[in-house]
Every structure is written in C-alpha cells, then in structure tokens.
C-alpha cells in the first residue's frame, strides 16, 4: 500500500489496493520510463482511446496532434484520461485463473488545457521529442507553420494513480503442491542498432548513440 494518499475518490485504487502508488515522484518516474500514453475522451461518436506520445514536466503531461485530430478537439476543456503502461513480465501460475502480468501503470484524469503560448508550445514539443531519445537539438527547428498546424494540450498531473505489480505467481493453496511449473518471465525493451536513411546527410548524432547505449566505434 502506498505511503501517500490518493488525490481524489475517483483515483483511489480499490481492486488490488495493495499495489497502489500515489507518490508524485514515484508516479513521475513511471511516466518518464513509459513511451506511449493511451488517451481516452468522450466524443460525439462515443468514447475513444488512442495511443499517443507524450512529454512530462513536474506538473503536466503534454500531448499533441494535428489540428484536425478529433480526440484532442473533443478533449479541449473536457475530461480526459491518459494511461501509461509498462509491461515488465508475464506471470505464469499453476492455473490460468491465477496468471497475471508484472507491470507499472499510471492513470491520469482531469481537464486538459490547450497550450496557446508559443514559448510553452515549443517547450512542450521539445519535451515530447526528447521523451525517449533526445533529438530536438540535432534536428532542424520546427517552422512557424508546423507549429501552427499542431494542437498541444496539457493535462495536469493532479489527479493520478499508479499500480505496480512485481514478483511471481500467487497460487491457490490447493495448487501449491501440484507438479505444475509456475514463475514469471521478465520482459525488457532494448534499442536496436540505428539504421541510417539513404538521405541521412550526416553521421548518427552522438546524442542518439548515447541514448541507445552504443559507442560510435561499435557501428
Ligand atoms: C498490463 C495490464 C494488464 C491488465 N489486465 C487486466 C485484465 O485482463 N483484467 C482486469 O480485470 N484487470 C487487468 N488489469 C488491471 C486493471 O488495470 C485494473 O486495475 C483492474 O481491472 C481493476 O479495475 P477496477 O475498475 O475494479 O479498478 P478500481 O480499483 O475500481 O479503479 C479506481 C481507480 O483506481 C485507479 N486504477 C485502476 N487501475 C489502475 C491501473 N492499472 N493503474 C493505475 N491506476 C489504476 C484509477 O485511478 C481508477 O479510476 C491489468 C493491468 C495492467 C497494467
């Protein structure tokens, strides 16, 4: 059970409450480690959840898309929910009923604010660009028209919860002595070797090599 309190009733984990985490720093850490947010809103066609890249500050989660993006349009000044999930392993129990997954997941709920200020917009785009591998400083700056064609929203990190599962299977007491294997299979994500475009025009930047964990002499 988290040593911190939930921010609201609706972000209080009820099922599996011992896996709940509400600490701001711990939740930020999961958000920094994740790569994709599944963002849900109500639209005039019904609810929709779409995968999106994101960036985080201490206070907000930035999301962006084309001006025509229907999810972000519906999410302007409306309730939104963003979920980030990192799957760390498959948990194999002695019966499929007790199978599970090891994971770190975060749910953020709240009203998104449209980012109008140009300086904040550029900061948000930089955070989203650099979230997984920092490439903002080694690419050309976005043009004014590219920025104008992009909608950016900021979802406050006020109402949020995390759930974290680690370890092996929890088998039924009746199954413990049966001769059936149980345990867990860790899942890790690693970068592959970067592949240059035919029109790459330059060597792979040191920032990219550092981020993917390779020395230039290994390529
Ligand atoms: C990779 C993965 C696979 C899963 N597979 C399943 C599955 O197949 N079936 C299933 O029933 N459940 C699954 N879960 C757990 C699921 O996410 C819910 O936690 C669980 O179903 C309880 O739902 P509830 O509506 O009863 O939650 P409640 O505890 O009632 O939810 C209340 C509040 O708790 C918070 N919360 C709930 N779940 C999470 C979460 N995962 N992360 C962060 N905050 C959370 C939210 O703020 C939510 O508003 C999976 C989770 C992960 C990460």
CATH number, position 14:
2.30.110.10
- For the CA of 106, the closest atom of ligand 1 is 43
> Could you list the residue range(s) of the whole structural domain that residue 216 is in?
189-219
Mutate to test the pocket of ligand 1, among 85, 105, 162, 165 (most ligand atoms within 8 A of CB): 105
* Residue 2 covered by a domain: no
**pLDDT for res 3:** 83
Q: Per-residue pLDDT for the chain (219 aa), expressed as one digit of tens each? A: 678 899 899 999 999 999 999 999 999 999 999 999 999 999 888 999 999 999 999 999 999 999 888 888 887 778 999 999 999 999 999 999 999 999 999 999 999 999 999 999 999 999 999 999 999 999 999 999 999 999 999 999 999 999 999 999 999 999 989 999 999 999 999 999 999 999 999 999 999 999 998 776 776
Mutate to test the pocket of ligand 1, among 96, 107, 108 (most ligand atoms within 8 A of CB): 107
How much distance in Å is there from the Cα of 171 to the middle of ligand 1? 20
Q: Report the nearest-CA residue for atom 48 of ligand 1.
A: 11
* Residues 206 and 171 reside in one and the same domain: no
How much distance in Å is there from the Cα of 48 to the middle of ligand 1? 18
Ligand 1 lining (C-beta closer than 6 Å): 10-16, 85, 87, 101, 103, 105-107, 161-163
* Residues 112 and 209 reside in one and the same domain: no
* Residue 3 covered by a domain: no
Report yes or no: 79 and 100 within 8 Å, Cβ to Cβ: no
Q: Report the nearest-CA residue for atom 26 of ligand 1.
A: 15
* Residue 91 covered by a domain: yes
How much distance in Å is there from the Cα of 140 to the middle of ligand 1? 41
* Residues 176 and 205 reside in one and the same domain: no
* Residue 101 covered by a domain: yes
* Residues 128 and 101 reside in one and the same domain: yes
Q: Report the nearest-CA residue for atom 35 of ligand 1.
A: 13
* Residues 180 and 205 reside in one and the same domain: no
Q: Tell me whether residue 111 is exposed, middle or buried, using C-beta atoms within 10 angstroms of its C-beta: 0 to 12, 13 to 18, 19 or more.
A: middle
* Residues 90 and 54 reside in one and the same domain: yes
**Between the CA of residue 169 and those of 2, 12, 57, 176, what are the distances in Å?**
21, 25, 35, 11
* Residues 140 and 42 reside in one and the same domain: yes
* Residues 110 and 26 reside in one and the same domain: yes
- What is the rounded distance in angstroms from the CA atom of residue 170 to the CA atom of residue 202? 52
**pLDDT for res 51:** 97
- What is the rounded distance in angstroms from the CA atom of residue 133 to the CA atom of residue 214? 13
**pLDDT for res 219:** 62
Classified as helix, coil or strand, 38 is strand
**pLDDT for res 1:** 66
* Residues 165 and 215 reside in one and the same domain: no
* Residues 160 and 214 reside in one and the same domain: no
- In the chain, the number of structural domains is 2
């Amino acid at each position: 059970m988290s040593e911190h309190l939930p921010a609201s009733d609706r972000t209080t984990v009820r099922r599996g409450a011992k896996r709940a985490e509400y600490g701001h720093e711990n939740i930020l850490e999961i958000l920094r480690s994740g790569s994709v947010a599944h963002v849900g809103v109500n639209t005039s066609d019904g609810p929709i959840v779409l995968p999106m890249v994101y960036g985080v500050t201490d206070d907000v989660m930035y999301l962006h898309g084309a001006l025509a993006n229907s999810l972000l349009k519906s999410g302007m000044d409306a309730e939104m929910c963003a979920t980030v999930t990192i799957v760390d392993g498959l948990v194999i129990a002695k019966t499929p009923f007790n199978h599970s997954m090891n994971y770190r997941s975060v749910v953020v709920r709240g009203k998104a604010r449209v980012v109008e200020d140009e300086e904040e917009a550029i900061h948000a785009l930089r955070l989203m660009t650099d979230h997984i591998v920092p490439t903002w400083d080694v690419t050309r700056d976005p043009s004014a028209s590219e920025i104008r064609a992009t909608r950016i929203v900021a979802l406050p990190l006020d109402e949020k919860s995390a759930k974290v599962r680690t370890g092996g299977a929890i088998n039924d007491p009746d199954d413990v002595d049966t001769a059936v294997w149980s345990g867990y299979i860790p899942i890790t994500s690693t970068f592959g070797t970067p592949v240059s475009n035919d029109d790459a025009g330059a060597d792979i930047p040191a920032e990219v090599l550092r981020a993917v964990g390779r020395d230039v002499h290994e390529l």
